[in-house]
Structure 1
Amino acid sequence: MSHTIRSKDKLVARVRRLKGQVEAVERALEAEAGCGQVLQLLASIRGALNGLNGELLEQHLHEHVLHARDEAERQAAAEELAAILKTYMR
């Protein structure tokens, strides 16, 4: 069973909190809130997204790299992770 399936409820809850945070930005903009308030909301979203990303990266490393069934699976997971990190760093 994949780590995203095992921790599905927890991950979905985090995504729903992120969704709520994005909606708060929309409401703030609609209400013509000050730029400082909007920037603070955006910083909170970035932190939450980075936390979710970090958790999934850690789970991926443990599940697919450290505890791979064989060297081929380990290599494929490492290559997948490298591609994801390249996209992330753009």
Structure 2
Amino acid sequence: MPRSAEDKKRALLRVKRIKGQVEALERGVASGVDCGALLQQIAAIRGASHGLMSEIMEIHIRDELGEDGLTEAQKITRLNDVASLVRSYLK
């Protein structure tokens, strides 16, 4: 979870943009917009979602691996957790 005020602000702005894109998609489906335009909107939503996920993942990695004072075992555990997260993201 984004902890700094700036990280939260950026994440929330991305979420709001995605929300607006999804609402536009809903309106387009309801009004019978051409499939090509709908597919373009869906691709934009997918791109925005991937951008949000990348940003949150970067914040998480910085938080998990950037903390000082961790034992070697804690570092390895956190590294394994982050690696697992990245693998699940790339599926």
Aligned counterpart, 2:84: 83
Question: Which amino acid counterpart does residue 37 of structure 1 have in structure 2?
Answer: A
Aligned counterpart, 2:56: 56
Question: Which amino acid counterpart does residue 19 of structure 2 have in structure 1?
Answer: K
Contact 1:64 1:73 (8 Å CA) reproduced? no
Give the RMSD, CA atoms, in angstroms. Answer: 1.9
Q: TM-score, normalised by structure 1?
A: 0.79
Specify every segment of 5 or more residues in structure 1 that has no aligned partner in the other structure, as ranges.
none
Whole-angstrom distance in 2 between the partners of 1:73 and 1:32: 54
Pair 1:15–1:86, CA change in 2 (3 A): same
Pair 1:4–1:26, CA change in 2 (3 A): same
Identity value in percent: 34
Question: Which amino acid counterpart does residue 18 of structure 1 have in structure 2?
Answer: I
Q: What's the CA shift string for 1:9-62, capped at 9, x where partnerless?
A: 221111111111111111110011111101000110111111111112222222
Contact 2:18 2:45 (8 Å CA) reproduced? yes
Q: TM-score, normalised by structure 2?
A: 0.78
Whole-angstrom distance in 1 between the partners of 2:23 and 2:76: 39
Question: Which amino acid counterpart does residue 2 of structure 2 have in structure 1?
Answer: T
Contact 1:29 1:38 (8 Å CA) reproduced? yes
Q: What secondary structure is seen at the aligned counterpart in 1 of 2:82?
A: helix
Q: Between the two structures, name the one with larger relative contact order (CA 8 Å, sep ≥ 6).
A: 2
Whole-angstrom distance in 2 between the partners of 1:72 and 1:12: 34
Q: 1:88: Cα distance to partner?
A: 2.8
